[in-house]
Amino acid sequence: MHHFRTFGGWLCICLVAGLAGCGGGGAKRYGVSGVVKWRGKPLDQGAITFLAEDPSLGSGGGALIKDGQYRIEAKEGLLPGRYKVMVTSVDPKNQTPDPDSPPGYLPVPKDRIQPKYNTQTTLTAEVTAEGKNSFDFEVN
């Protein structure tokens, strides 16, 4: 069961590392933080990803969510601009293999967050040089 949390964490880290390397090296980046609530309570675990709406920014980033909190430090932060925001969280209950599946097969974990907050996200955030850049999100 712990393997899915680890897999989800590594997947997010790989995605974030890939996105963070896309931006210009000399531009000033800004830290981003906030709270993610799921069904009115802090999301116990998951990941948040910021994808630049303007392709010329070539920037994005993300962080793991723990107990509702996330933080991207300035050194890995985001360039000023508008971002689409994706929130994911693996359903810890969807980790039991099908008894008819081959030995060692584990099911693909199901995301408990609705697609309108991840694969078809409607969430956005605007990172500014002057702003606090703290973004809170409520998902279900």
122-132 per-position pLDDT tens digit:
999 999 999 89
Residue 98 pLDDT:
63
Query: For residue 3, is pLDDT > 50?
Result: no
**pLDDT per residue over 4-26, tens digit each?**
444 454 444 444 444 444 444 57
Structural domains in the chain (count): 1
Question: In this structure, how many other beta carbons lie within 10 angstroms of the beta carbon of residue 66?
Answer: 13
Return the residue matching tokens 């969430």.
Answer: 123
Question: pLDDT-based confidence at 32, cuts 50/70/90?
Answer: very high
Whether this prediction's pTM lies above 0.95 is answered by no
CA distances (Å), origin 91, targets 37, 52, 94: 15, 27, 6
Q: Which helix (H) or strand (E) segment is 83 a member of?
A: strand 81-88
Task: Give the pLDDT confidence of 39-61 residue by residue, as tens digits.
Answer: 999 999 999 999 999 988 877 99
- What is the domain extent for residue 75? 2-139
Q: How far apart are CA 24 and CA 26, in angstroms?
A: 6
| The predicted structure's pLDDT at residue 95 | 62
Structure tokens that stand for 42 in this block: 């802090």
- Of 22 and 72, which is predicted with more confidence? 72
- Residue 64 sits in a domain whose CATH number is 2.60.40.1120
pLDDT (average), residues 98-107: 71
3-state helix, strand, coil in the chain (%, to 5): 20, 35, 45
